[in-house]
Amino acid sequence: MVISLAAAAVIGLYARARFERLVATRQIPVAAVEIPPYTLISGEMVTLREMPKTLQGESIYLSREMVVGKMSTIPIPKGALFYEEFALPPSEFRYVEDEYLEIISFPVDPAKAVGGQVRPFQRINIYRIARGTIDHGAPAEAVIAQAGAAVELLAEEVLVVDVRSTRGEPAGVSPEGSPSQLERQAATGTRVAPLSILTVAVEPYVAGEITRLMGETQGQYDLWVSLAPLAKRETTTALGTEAARTDAVPSPATSDEMSPIPTITPIAELEEVASSVVLAKAPSPTSSPTPLPPTPTSTPQAPTATVAPPTPTVTPTYDYVVRSKSWAPSSGTSYIRGRVQDREGRLISGVRVQIAFCCPPETLIEPQPWEEADGSFEFVVTPGTFTLEVVGARTEPIALQVSPEGALWEVVLERTY
């Protein structure tokens, strides 16, 4: 009887343990709402639900903290589990964690991109260059006065997130490789795909500037890329450097200040002078010394002034250039506003500014007749890309990107003359 009771107890405990393993639950995060792809998952999108513990062996996230901040790669239905492959960190799905940055790629010429040696995680500066044109048939004075290529720093310290060849395969130098593609090719005997496409993470308005530049590279503008400096040193102006060099090195004497070239006395005359000197050493006792005539004092001549050649007058390429521009997000109405000033920073009255929407280019938003032409301007705009110029004057090209979320642009245009 006792043996039977013991056996029954053992069987009961075993059955209970097996039942608990089958029906035991734990809280597991599931989607509280339907989540579209390419969405940053927030806490409101996640809820906890009692689920069998056997699901712990699946490749799923087991806590709310593990899910929040991830990015959906496919549509996730309401109530679905968060599988790891369908909710990735933003840096794995779109290169960077910063949700406000835009990812954009553009083609580059290796010769204009640090010799094709740019690699991921470096920071670069992007320059926009207007190709200069010279009329070789013009007189020399006119050629000197012509302005060369205008250079604009389009974006600085831009993060490179990927480099590719024209076929989309990884290109350039890997972080652990040799700093030269040619060295790697010679050492391994393999062909390294040349750099042709750069992918960067930038602010949305910079992405708009790069996109516009891509269209301009087919015309009179070009793109150049450099590695951003690690630190910025305090620079001296060319005038200061030249002044320091002038103080340190004495200027050469003019022709009036140079000593005359000595003449060569014939040997016969030297012998006569020597004999007279010997006779002078033994004077007669009755002879009295003859006083020497006073040395004539030479009157210094005033140095002749050197007339410098006239400096050619350089005609600026533009009447107005972009002195500064800044962007800030705006939750409401979007504005493009700013001021037109002279080189001393004073507002210029009587000038008007107009903007144009990118598509079509001839769609202008001009200043209203009743606006005060006091040198300031302000436009209420909708999302899109806009150009800005002073009416009736040559203005340096500028493109301003207004996102659907709203933007506030501040621009300062400066007169060059």
- Summarised one tens digit per residue, pLDDT across range 394-417 is 898 888 888 877 888 899 999 998
Digit-coded pLDDT (tens) for 50-69: 988 888 888 999 999 999 99
According to the model, what pLDDT value does residue 261 have?
Answer: 41
Are 72 and 39 a contacting pair, CB within 8 Å?
yes
Number of CB atoms found within 10 A of residue 295's CB: 6
Digit-coded pLDDT (tens) for 155-190: 899 999 999 987 778 886 544 444 444 454 445 555
pLDDT band at 331 (very low <50, low <70, confident <90, very high): confident
According to the model, what pLDDT value does residue 265 have?
Answer: 46
DSSP secondary structure code for residue 43 in this structure: G
DSSP secondary structure code for residue 230 in this structure: S
- Report the C-alpha gap between 48 and 33 in whole angstroms: 12
Handedness of CA 267, 273, 277, 280 (dihedral sign): positive
Are 65 and 14 a contacting pair, CB within 8 Å?
no
Q: Which CATH superfamily is domain 320-415 in?
A: Immunoglobulins (2.60.40.10)
Q: Reduced to 3 states, what is the DSSP secondary structure of residue 2?
A: helix
What does the domain layout of the chain look like in residue ranges? 17-93, 102-227, 320-415
DSSP secondary structure code for residue 367 in this structure: P
- Report the C-alpha gap between 271 and 379 in whole angstroms: 98
- Report the C-alpha gap between 413 and 353 in whole angstroms: 10
Q: What is the CA radius of gyration of the chain?
A: 41
pLDDT of 270 over the 80 cut = no
pLDDT of 136 over the 70 cut = no
CATH topology of domain 17-93: Type Iii Antifreeze Protein Isoform Hplc 12 (3.90.1210)
**CB neighbour class for 86 (10 Å; exposed up to 12, middle 13-18, buried from 19):** buried
Digit-coded pLDDT (tens) for 275-317: 444 444 444 444 445 555 555 555 555 555 555 556 555 567 8
According to the model, what pLDDT value does residue 217 have?
Answer: 62
Are 198 and 221 a contacting pair, CB within 8 Å?
no
Could you please report the per-residue DSSP string of 60-107?
Answer: B--SHHHHTT-EESS-B-TT-B-BGGGEE-HHHHHS-S-TTPEEEEEE
| Segment (H or E) for 341 | strand 334-341
- Report the C-alpha gap between 75 and 37 in whole angstroms: 5
Average pLDDT over residues 327-336: 83
Are 201 and 155 a contacting pair, CB within 8 Å?
no
The model's pTM is: 0.46
According to the model, what pLDDT value does residue 179 have?
Answer: 47
pLDDT band at 377 (very low <50, low <70, confident <90, very high): confident
Greater confidence (227 vs 5) lies with 227
- Report the C-alpha gap between 312 and 144 in whole angstroms: 7
Cis peptide upstream of residue 316 (ω within 30 degrees of 0): no
Q: Of 46, 36, 29, whose CA–CA distance to 74 is shortest?
A: 36
Q: Reduced to 3 states, what is the DSSP secondary structure of residue 415?
A: strand
